[in-house]
Structure 1
Amino acid sequence: MFLYSCSLVKRVPDGEHLLEENKIVVNGEPKKNEELTDQLYQQPNTSILGYHLRLHLYNIAKPDADSSYQAWLERKPNRHERLRKLLSEKQVQRLGQSFAVAGVSSFLKKVGEAPVLVDHNRVKKSANRLLSYYYKRGYFRTKVGFSIDTISGKKAEVNYTVTTGKPYIVDSLDTYIETPVLDSLYQQTKKESLIKKGKQYLESDFIEERERITSYFRNRGAYKFQQNYISYVIDTVNTGHKANVDLIIDNETIRTEDSTYTQPFKLYKISQVNIYTKNLGDESQAIDSTTYKGFNIFSSGKLNYRPKALTDPVFITPGSTFAEFRRVLTYRYVNNLRVFNYPNINFVVDSTDASGTSLITNIYLAPRDKFKYLASVDLTHSNIQDMGIQGSMGVSIRNLFRGAEILDLSIRGNIGSSSDPAIKDRSFFNILEYGADAKLNFPRIFFPLKTERIIPKEMIPSTLLSFGISRQKNIGLDKENFTGILSYNWTPKRNVTAKLDLFNIQYIRNVNPTNYFNVYRSSYDRLNDIANDYADQIDPNYFLDSDAPAGSKQLAIEEGTNGFIEDVDNNNIVVSSVDKQNIRSINERRERLIENNLISSTNFTYTTSTRDNLTDNSFFIFKTKLETAGNTLSLISSLTDKGQRSDSGNKTILDVEYAQYVKGELDFIKHFDLRRGKVLAMRAFLGLAVPYGNSNSIPFTRSYFAGGSNDNRAWQSYSLGPGRSGGLNDFNEANFKMTYSTELRFNLFGQLNGAIFGDVGNIWNIFDSQDDPAYTFNGFSSLRDLALGTGFGFRYDFNFFVVRLDLGFKTYNPGRPVNERWFKEYNFSKAVYNVGINYPF
């Protein structure tokens, strides 16, 4: 209310006008597209949903805080003198410069935005820019006019009137190429020309055609060719809105000390490739050299690399024609090795070649340090840990086997304090985690058979062999975890990546399964409530206090909980069919989560993106993943099966049931740049995992959950779904997930950005052991179980990362009764606060 009471024109001087709106009319039709409005030198003050926040902040600030302070000092007799006696003259003047007096206004001016005043000169320049905009699109006879119309309250709008006339059409394209070899090359590619007869004149076509021809020539031997040798002559005189184009490519210009002359361009071949590297551990100046497949390799000191490791990343080969793309590929491959600093590649004309058409390539590789040490210490807080101290130490060893391999070794640990009642240890540091990892990276496909025909080295392939172990103590079921991965990565083309995990093995052992009901309290509470309904039939020893009044008894963990479940299952205690089904569901979930898991999977991930760099706000990313698990172990089990099966009848490997399933995922992200700091971002995700063979459900670690700071932000992690069940468990998960999120991002001021968002989605069970319709996906009718969360957030951009705070509100909650799903929890007391690093998508 206070901000709205401030007038927008409060700081607009008399005789000036606040720019309210720009209007552009083209050939009698109003236009509002961003590309046109971006041509204007003056834009109205920024707004958020129509509200000029930054302008209001600027208006609140005092125009001259120092003068106002001096006037305040002199406003009452003796005020200045009294302050001088109380403080000192120096301190009185400093008071005027303090944040409370002048700093607030300075801050508001900095984060605010001064009123945009209509400037006649800038309006005129904007009109000329509109004229240029249409001229570049073939409207050579465009006329642009403008008017400044004042409206009430010191405001004005600027109207631009554009009359384009007919566009000019390319009628002919003639070429004049002085160098015969270039003329021959051009004839091979002229069909690909962007300048075509019958096409409307576009200046961008001429620019891109110049770049295309230059790239084509330089990739076919024209080492000295540059764009400035290409020019155009366009004739539009008395042609009836037709453009006749002459494409001119001059000879090479040679400049000497006192003269300039021209000569035809030459096409160059590579006569030699010299690779220079250093031995950081050898101070000797002796040069070690060798030759490998035509490459000359030189090292200052003993050569520490196998020759193949140095030549594999080089795409410039002796005897090949000079091609710019080969140099670019070499840069990318060498830089991707992470063994050398960014390489230096240059070409020198070979003076021994009488024809002058040979080049010597010199490649300089500066090795990075062989050892790189890493250490970190973090303070952590989570819903499990009140406070934790986490640390890690690691070392990277480069060029381990003299083939540019990298070995990463690391150990990590965490000690934490938790007041969780499930943890019986009451000492301050009662949580412990530790683990170790080893990763070995090969800059090639590490496989017994040759794969270069399938994955050539132009795709920059690499192999990652990874092993990891970890252990938890006093956290949940106290898990032990072992992982082993053999992964291949390559880049089929620019902005496209492929990854194949040939083997991804994970073994999870629950050390303390008897702690289940202490950890999953919601399951215990549901079981205990049912037990109290049948207390008269239950063995009194199952309760901690058998003398407690009915309805308040507590089942003992494990004796009471397990005994009650077994008695119901054996019909020793007669309960209703509904309660029996609920008890069975609780026990099935318990057995599933306390069982040890053995997962051996193979997965393939394909990702394509149009994003050019981190500042690109208009792009899409599409990622698809297919995973299968258990097939290899099933084959091994069938070959070695000696009747070893679990109590449930499933096959085992080393006394552990192995998981068997197939899983597919689709993930799509799209960003739209709305200009002036506004971005519309959206994400759609679909994932399904189907158990078969040796499994009737998906392992907990490979299942889906909903909620959290990167998902549906109106629910906490694992608290949404499945379906319309209402999130009854402590950790709700399922094997089918569908989500869609969108958010509008905008700048508030400075580095602070805001966002409004909407998240819709849920998880369900499908094709597994769950048959409760509240949990399962049953076709289109289950789409009514999609949960909707909306909210707003703030992001502060530190340039190298973004800190994010989001407030999510449950707009539509499928877990509530049908007539209570919309807006029943839409208030701050039920809001979910999410803190995250970087954007959610």
Structure 2
Amino acid sequence: MKARRHVLQLPAKIGLILVGLSFFSCNVLKRVEPDELLLTDFEVIADSAKVSDETVNSLVAQKPNSKLLGIPLKLHLYNLAKPNPDSSYQAWLYRKEGRYERLEALLSDKQVSRLGESFLVAGLSNWLKKAGEAPVVIDSARTEKTLERLQAYYKTKGYFNNTGTYHFDSTGNQRATVRYSLELGEPYLIDTLTFEIASPEIDSILRLHRKESLVHQGDQFDLERFTRERERLTQLFRNSGIWNFQESSITYDILRDTLPSHDDQLMDVELNIDNPRSRAEGEQDRPYRVHRLDSVNIFAGITPGTPPEELEKLSYEDFTIFYRGTLDYKPKALTDAVFLRKGNVYRDLDRIRTYRQINNLNTFRYPNIQLVETGEDQLVSNIYLSPRPSNSLNLDFDVTHSNIQRIGIGLGASLITRNVFGGAETLSLSGRGTFGLLSDESLPEDFFTEITADINLTFPRIWGLPFVNDQKIIPNYMLPQTRVSLGTSFQKNIGLDKQTFNSILSYNWTPNDFSRNILELLNVQFVRNLNPDRYYNVYQSSYEQLDEQADPFQDDPALQEFFQPTDNPDDPLRLIIPEGTTGFTEAVLTGGLVPGDSDTFTQVFRIEERRQRLTENDLIFATNYTFVENNKENINDNNFHQFRWRLESAGNLLSLASRVIPFIENERGQGLVFGVPYSQYVKTELEYIKHWQLPGSNVLAFRSFVGIAVPYGNADNIPFVRSYFAGGANDNRAWFPYSLGPGSTRNINDFNEANFKLAFNLEHRFPLFGDLRGALFADVGNIWNVWDRETDPDAIFQGFRSLEDIALGTGFGLRYDFSFFVFRADLGFKTYNPAEIPGERWFRDYNFANSVLQIGINYPF
């Protein structure tokens, strides 16, 4: 009946929407003069085919007002503003005799004038104009300009004889579209390609790399390709010893016959590379020559202009290191960061890599690299390194409030020490404490604390792996780093109170600008639950399920000590935590209270299994590798993809050790280390993100994620900290975190998690006003259990038929760009809910009452 009622309400809602749309459509001409036409659309036709290329459409000088869901919302905002609020105010002020005098007597002459500048009088109209868009009225001059742009563009593509026209098509009262029609004709082709090279050495380099050219005989003329060829040649020459090569030295001579009467669409192209012009008047131009590095000098802590005779110097390999007083750095640490080598042909690539690696040391500021020509073919490279402060201290303070914290105060400090051992190592010590009051007054204590401390040591090289120290495997230009980290945290709040110890030995390197590798050779984490007896105080869902199973046994005299009276007449007795919950569980599972094949036994067994899992201490001894590829070129690039693959294995080293030295085992046969069963599993994840730039600053973003963690050997489940959950601001936004799944189950636990996850997201992002953007999104996915000790069939992935349990959430959101971060608010609606019974899963909770508001920082993917 509920679903039927929603369906009956749809026509009424649609009717209201149509009425609103008709109102808006009548209002768009409010600021259009009677002799003007509102531009509603445009199209470019080339050789009778519509052009959808964004590059071509961007040449159009006049485009219609932007629309949201087909409605020119910004135009309506502009129309709401008063055209001349100052004049309207003055007219109102003097329309009634004596009005000005009365206001002046009540306020003052100055205040009466400022009233006309107030937000309600003028400010609101000014804001509406700024946030909105003035009606786009067809301008013939701009239309002519667009046609000229289009014809010029197609000439750059070889259509030198193209012709074009435009005309207006009426689409209703004072509305029209503009159609640009072009006849391109036949494109011009490159008939011959010749070369005129002034420098013999440039000519030799060019001949060696002729096959890499982007311009070939028989190609259609394309000015963009010629431009890219000039850029390629400039880069080629600068990486082949021509350190001072200028792109302006490259020109093209093009001979063509553009008379329409000629059918010969061929052209002759000559590539010219001139010598650099001499700066001195009367001096003859010198040809470009290949230069080699005569010497490479490193000035550690020295500014340019300091006379070398005032400095100490040290020769190390092929470098000369200058310093004042005492050299604070190991010579190898400095020379490994420099890729300019004595005797080598100069390459711009080596200079760029030197900049990057010196920055990677985190010990020096941006370096100053000077090249000095000492002969016709010799260079001296002087590299000036300005050190950062040896020590820096950062302090932070914040006040927080949340649904579980009335107030929290955070204090943090971090100390960074650079060049610890003289090899540009960085040591970081950090600590943080958060203290405050809890919101849950039912707890015996309302004070919480969270204290963390970390030590991080970073080496700007691969350390501890002799077999990869060879530069042929991970050379220094890949920015290698080694990180050793130790940390601990102590948490006392509404949970079980945890103490965590972690240790990490990791390596990362960057083969190129678009990919990164991270290897955590050792990732050890020990999680200790300090108050496991508080489990049922924290996980209320589990407690409610156990208490429900105990209700039929409230009158059993042997179990009376497990219950306590309540003020609720519908539930007069409840299990005591923890004595009653523990006693009842033992009576069912080991005391023979119910048969082993009964539903009560099964349900209590599942509840106890989860309690043991979430309250037992975890020891994770893992190794993982992550590969990330991202071809995004800059912050404004909205046509890119990102791929991430991660593989993690835990417990194998301890498993091998147990074969040499047998470990003590618990009652379940699990090997114990320091009294804790160690985790053993393999886990892998694949994530792919793709963004498409659409017309009008619109962006289509897609994300896919697949992850699975399989326990084996010493474990039959995945630790909670390594499991998957669904829902939340960066996942399926129609559900809160941990509230979706697993499978078709419905809120069976306070924190639902599993070891297999599928997630797919699609989001259309579009501009609204200024820095405010909107989004429409669809989120698909769920979590399941697979190959672990879960026994609930609704939570287990059982092949393709389980895909019907994938949830769908749709909604809309707003994003405001503060430049340094994006504030995001998304409203998600449960479109397809697998927790409902089949046949009632679609749109059952699709309403504002059951929607979920998610707040986040930056884009979800």
Bucket of the pairwise TM-score, normalised by the shorter protein: over 0.9
Equivalent residue for 1:437?
454
Alignment of 1:288 onto 2:312 = yes
Equivalent residue for 1:348?
372
What is the aligned counterpart of 2:400 among 364, 374, 380? 380
Residue 554 of structure 2 contacts residue 563 of structure 2 at CA under 8 Å; is this kept in 1? no
Equivalent residue for 1:130?
150
What is the aligned counterpart of 1:304 among 328, 345, 356? 328
Distance between the aligned counterparts of 1:207 and 1:680, measured in 2? Answer: 30
Q: Which amino acid in the other structure matches residue 547 of structure 2?
A: N
Following superposition, the deviation at residue 150 of structure 1 comes to 4.4
Equivalent residue for 1:750?
770
What is the aligned counterpart of 1:490 among 497, 506, 509? 509
What is the aligned counterpart of 1:240 among 236, 260, 264? 264
After TM superposition, list the pairs within 5 Å mapping 1:297-376 onto structure 2.
297-350=321-374, 353=375, 356-376=376-396
Distance between the aligned counterparts of 1:818 and 1:198, measured in 2? Answer: 63
Distance between the aligned counterparts of 1:522 and 1:636, measured in 2? Answer: 40
What is the aligned counterpart of 1:514 among 528, 533, 551? 533
Distance between the aligned counterparts of 1:803 and 1:79, measured in 2? Answer: 46
Equivalent residue for 1:686?
706
Equivalent residue for 1:645?
665
- What is the root-mean-square deviation of aligned Cα atoms in Å? 2.0
Following superposition, the deviation at residue 496 of structure 1 comes to 0.6
Residue 278 of structure 1 contacts residue 301 of structure 1 at CA under 8 Å; is this kept in 2? no
Secondary structure (helix, strand or coil) at the match of 1:319 reads coil
Bigger mean CA offset, 297-306 vs 397-406? 297-306
Tell me the matched-pair count: 830
Alignment of 1:470 onto 2:493 = no
After TM superposition, list the pairs within 5 Å mapping 1:788-827 onto structure 2.
788-827=808-847
Alignment of 1:45 onto 2:65 = yes
Alignment of 1:190 onto 2:214 = no
Equivalent residue for 2:605?
584
Following superposition, the deviation at residue 817 of structure 1 comes to 1.2
Equivalent residue for 1:704?
724
Equivalent residue for 2:542?
523
Q: Which amino acid in the other structure matches residue 764 of structure 1?
A: W
Residue 202 of structure 2 contacts residue 288 of structure 2 at CA under 8 Å; is this kept in 1? yes
Equivalent residue for 1:452?
471
Residue 532 of structure 1 contacts residue 552 of structure 1 at CA under 8 Å; is this kept in 2? no
C-alpha distance 31-604 of structure 1, shift in aligned 2 (>3 A)? same
Following superposition, the deviation at residue 301 of structure 1 comes to 3.6
Following superposition, the deviation at residue 572 of structure 1 comes to 2.7
Alignment of 1:611 onto 2:628 = no
C-alpha distance 421-523 of structure 1, shift in aligned 2 (>3 A)? farther
Equivalent residue for 2:77?
57
What is the aligned counterpart of 2:294 among 265, 271, 277? 271
After TM superposition, list the pairs within 5 Å mapping 1:733-748 onto structure 2.
733-748=753-768
Equivalent residue for 1:251?
275
Residue 758 of structure 2 contacts residue 783 of structure 2 at CA under 8 Å; is this kept in 1? yes
Distance between the aligned counterparts of 1:825 and 1:383, measured in 2? Answer: 24
Equivalent residue for 2:499?
480
Q: TM-score, normalised by structure 1?
A: 0.96
Secondary structure (helix, strand or coil) at the match of 1:375 reads strand
C-alpha distance 165-260 of structure 1, shift in aligned 2 (>3 A)? farther
Q: Which amino acid in the other structure matches residue 446 of structure 1?
A: W
Question: What are the superposed Cα offsets for residues 15-49 of structure 1, whole Å, 9 maximum, x if unpaired?
Answer: 22221111211111223332221111111111112
Distance between the aligned counterparts of 1:474 and 1:798, measured in 2? Answer: 33
Bigger mean CA offset, 603-612 vs 469-478? 469-478
Distance between the aligned counterparts of 2:724 and 2:192, measured in 1? Answer: 61
Distance between the aligned counterparts of 1:776 and 1:386, measured in 2? Answer: 39
Q: Which amino acid in the other structure matches residue 562 of structure 1?
A: T
C-alpha distance 548-244 of structure 1, shift in aligned 2 (>3 A)? closer
Following superposition, the deviation at residue 92 of structure 1 comes to 1.4
Secondary structure (helix, strand or coil) at the match of 1:447 reads coil
Following superposition, the deviation at residue 135 of structure 1 comes to 1.0
What is the aligned counterpart of 1:601 among 616, 622, 633? 622
After TM superposition, list the pairs within 5 Å mapping 1:723-734 onto structure 2.
723-734=743-754
Distance between the aligned counterparts of 2:692 and 2:675, measured in 1? Answer: 53
Equivalent residue for 1:628?
649
Following superposition, the deviation at residue 151 of structure 1 comes to 4.5
Q: Which amino acid in the other structure matches residue 371 of structure 1?
A: N
Residue 607 of structure 1 contacts residue 621 of structure 1 at CA under 8 Å; is this kept in 2? yes
Distance between the aligned counterparts of 2:536 and 2:801, measured in 1? Answer: 34
Residue 804 of structure 1 contacts residue 837 of structure 1 at CA under 8 Å; is this kept in 2? yes
Residue 533 of structure 1 contacts residue 551 of structure 1 at CA under 8 Å; is this kept in 2? no
C-alpha distance 11-548 of structure 1, shift in aligned 2 (>3 A)? closer
Residue 301 of structure 2 contacts residue 384 of structure 2 at CA under 8 Å; is this kept in 1? no
C-alpha distance 566-78 of structure 1, shift in aligned 2 (>3 A)? same
Question: What are the superposed Cα offsets for residues 43-65 of structure 1, whole Å, 9 maximum, x if unpaired?
Answer: 11111121111111011000111
What is the aligned counterpart of 1:658 among 662, 673, 678? 678
Following superposition, the deviation at residue 474 of structure 1 comes to 3.1
Distance between the aligned counterparts of 2:115 and 2:798, measured in 1? Answer: 70
Q: Which amino acid in the other structure matches residue 344 of structure 1?
A: N
Distance between the aligned counterparts of 1:49 and 1:259, measured in 2? Answer: 68
Distance between the aligned counterparts of 1:687 and 1:308, measured in 2? Answer: 43
Q: Which amino acid in the other structure matches residue 491 of structure 1?
A: T
Equivalent residue for 1:8?
28
Distance between the aligned counterparts of 1:32 and 1:452, measured in 2? Answer: 49
Residue 689 of structure 2 contacts residue 701 of structure 2 at CA under 8 Å; is this kept in 1? yes
Residue 246 of structure 2 contacts residue 276 of structure 2 at CA under 8 Å; is this kept in 1? no
Question: What are the superposed Cα offsets for residues 127-157 of structure 1, whole Å, 9 maximum, x if unpaired?
Answer: 0111112111111111111123444332222
Q: Which amino acid in the other structure matches residue 652 of structure 2?
A: N
Secondary structure (helix, strand or coil) at the match of 1:254 reads coil
Distance between the aligned counterparts of 2:441 and 2:833, measured in 1? Answer: 30
Distance between the aligned counterparts of 2:751 and 2:182, measured in 1? Answer: 62
Alignment of 1:768 onto 2:788 = yes
C-alpha distance 149-259 of structure 1, shift in aligned 2 (>3 A)? farther
Residue 240 of structure 2 contacts residue 346 of structure 2 at CA under 8 Å; is this kept in 1? yes
Structure 1 residues without counterparts, runs of 5 or longer:
none
After TM superposition, list the pairs within 5 Å mapping 1:382-401 onto structure 2.
382-401=402-421
Distance between the aligned counterparts of 1:318 and 1:176, measured in 2? Answer: 33
C-alpha distance 597-614 of structure 1, shift in aligned 2 (>3 A)? same
Distance between the aligned counterparts of 1:824 and 1:15, measured in 2? Answer: 52
Alignment of 1:179 onto 2:199 = yes
Following superposition, the deviation at residue 787 of structure 1 comes to 0.6
Bigger mean CA offset, 700-709 vs 65-74? 65-74
